[in-house]
Chain A
Amino acid sequence: MDTVDITILSLGLTFLLLIVPVIISSIYGLKLIKPLFYSVARMSIQLVLIGVFLKYLFLWNNMFVNLVWLAIMVVVAVFSAIRSSSVKIRKIFLPGLISFSIATFAVVIYLNTVVISLKNIFDARYIIVLGGMLLGNSLRGNIVGISTFYKNLKKDTKPYLYVLSLGASRFEAILPYFRESVQLALRPTLASMATMGIVALPGMMTGVILGGASPEVAIKYQIMIMIAIVVSTMISVVLTILMTLRVCFNRCGVLRKDVFNDQ
């Protein structure tokens, strides 16, 4: 069964739905109209461009081009994750880049080789789409993880130093903050996994079904991608925090003030 295409005119009709949030925002003075249109415009332009780009990417299906595109996606994801935290980008960009790359490439290559058993493990349809889904979710986790970790340590400067004075090693002193950050980073993914299928039909499954595959195939892909998301999010959050310790703390175990944007 082929997916029913949406004409440009029909797609335009989708935008009519936006009248509802516009009216609600006007009635209650939510001041959401401008941000709403800004986000809708950005989303539409970005997706149109990426649609054209992906069309050619799938057409060429060149391993080198695919890897370069995935690398660009990683760079943008790292940049976005760090920008949302209070830490200076130039301080932790490299550790972030390394950990995101390891987490994304390792999990995608595992899926393509071991799970899906692709002949061409760098096939654009798989490496770009799966990589994108992992990155999008890792990004959310990392924004929470990195921000929580450094925000709490900055807030708790004195209790942290007190723990060092008790004889704690640097790792022992940061461990409570590390645990909390990783738990918070994974919480949304774990929560959405626990309600999946009941509360919502997940994006990938919907896409696969609309793409013409049977629900059985869609479910298998969805289970695979959810496990991959948890694993890659955890790897990237843990690695990013651990790898930034070297640059964000001095050798006496004290958090450097100059790593924060407001310093």
Chain B
Amino acid sequence: MIKFNNIHLSYDGKKVIEDISFEVKQGEKVVLSGKSGSGKSSLFALALGFVEPGEGEVTFEGVRVDENSVWDIRKKIAYIDQDVSVGDGKIQDLFDFISGLKANVHLDCTKGKVRDLLRYFEFNEDIGDKNIEDLSGGERQRLAIVISVLLERNVFFLDEVTSALDKHLKKKVVDYFMKREDWTFLVISHEPLWLEDPSVKVFDLEEGKWIL
């Protein structure tokens, strides 16, 4: 489904990724490991067309990620970055903005569905009136997760999405993603809960190979 072929990437002359190749098949749950700066987040940026590889290519469903294909590929991936950059303003306005995008007109963003999701991730009913700037780190992470689920996509790129959550909520999030067999996801996380399920695979970027 997603193939990274001989990827090389440098920022300002500094090599970040050197000759990495691996494939993630549909339905696979993958944890990316490696120390800080080993290029884990850059792999997501490459697949979403935010940066271009120095060498090599990324393919999604057999299609090379480039300036023509990337616009459709982005519509198939739900992405959460480690800073949870969901913008600012009222939460309800953010929901309206997302459902107002042309690519998302088919989405079910009805109050009932949103409410169920918000409730599952333990938000108060009146969260829509709150400003994103007033949310705690953990609330922002849960909000980004709610949005990623609302997008009804089957592929998830999750970059440190549980780091600010307590144990109970971490478990809830991990369980939510694990129970969906049809979902493919790549996770960057130091949270051991993601590794509890035996089906989870681990790719180490420093060694450039599968280690689990």
**A, B in one complex:** yes
Residues in A lying within 8 Å of B, measured CB to CB? 156, 158-159, 161-169, 172, 250-254
User: Could you jot down 12 A-B contacts, CB within 8 Å?
Assistant: A159-B85, A162-B85, A162-B87, A163-B87, A164-B74, A166-B74, A166-B103, A167-B101, A172-B101, A251-B68, A252-B52, A254-B50
Number of residues from B at the complex interface, CB < 8 A: 29
Mask, B33-72, CB within 8 Å of A = 1, is 0000000000001001111100000000000001110110
Closest to A165 in B: B79
- On chain A, the residues within 8 Å of B85 by CB distance are 156, 158-159, 161-162
Interchain CB contact under 8 A, B50 and A168: no
Q: Which residues of B contact A161 (CB under 8 A)?
A: 45, 48, 50, 81, 85
**Chain A residues touching B, majority SS:** loop
Q: Whole-angstrom distance between the alpha carbons of A215 and B154 in the complex?
A: 70
The verdict on B75 contacting chain A, using a C-beta distance below 8 Å, is: yes
- The answer to whether A162 touches B50 (Cβ under 8 A) is no
Q: Which of A161, A163, A165 has the most CB of B within 10 A?
A: A165
Residue numbers in A under 8 Å from B151 (CB-CB): 166-167
Report the separation of the CA atoms of residues A165 and B78 in the bound assembly, to the nearest whole angstrom: 7
Tell me whether B98 is interfacial, beta carbon within 8 Å: yes
With A158-B81, A161-B81 known as contacts, the answer to whether A252 contacts B86 (CB < 8 A) is no
A255 CB to nearest B CB, Å: 10
Min CB distance A256 to B, Å, is 12
Contact of B79 (CB < 8 Å), options: A162, A169, A172, A250: A162
Q: Please name the residue on chain B nearest to A158 by beta carbon.
A: B85
Which chain B residues lie closer than 8 Å to A168 at the CB level? 101, 103
CA distance A253 to B50 in the complex (A): 8
Distance between Cα atoms of A129 and B151 in the complex (Å): 55
- Whether A165 touches B86, Cβ cut-off 8 Å, given contacts A251-B67, A254-B49, is no
- Whether B86 and A162, one on each chain, are in contact in the complex, defined by CB atoms closer than 8 angstroms, is yes
Is B180 engaged at the interface, CB distance under 8 Å to the other chain?
no
Task: Map CB proximity to A onto B161-182 as digits: 1 under 8 Å, 0 otherwise.
Answer: 0000000000000000000000
Shortest Cβ distance from A246 into chain B, in angstroms?
Answer: 13
Question: Most chain-A Cβ atoms within 10 A of its Cβ — which of B51, B66, B71?
Answer: B71
Q: How far is the CA of A172 from the CA of B75 in the complex (A)?
A: 14
How far, in angstroms, from A169 to B151 measured CA to CA in the complex?
A: 16
B10 within 8 A of A: no
In B100-116, the 8 Å CB interface with A consists of 101-104
Known contacts: A161-B81, A172-B101, A254-B50. The answer to whether A167 contacts B75 by CB under 8 A is yes
- Bound: A165/B48 CA distance, A: 7
Q: Chain A residues with Cβ under 8 A from B49's Cβ?
A: 252-254
CA A163 to CA B103, docked complex, whole Å? 11
Please tell me if B129 contacts chain A, counting CB pairs below 8 Å: no
Contact between A252 and B87, CB atoms less than 8 A apart: no
Alpha-carbon distance A250/B70, docked complex (angstroms)? 12
CA distance A164 to B78 in the complex (A): 11
Any chain A CB within 8 A of the CB of B77?
Answer: yes
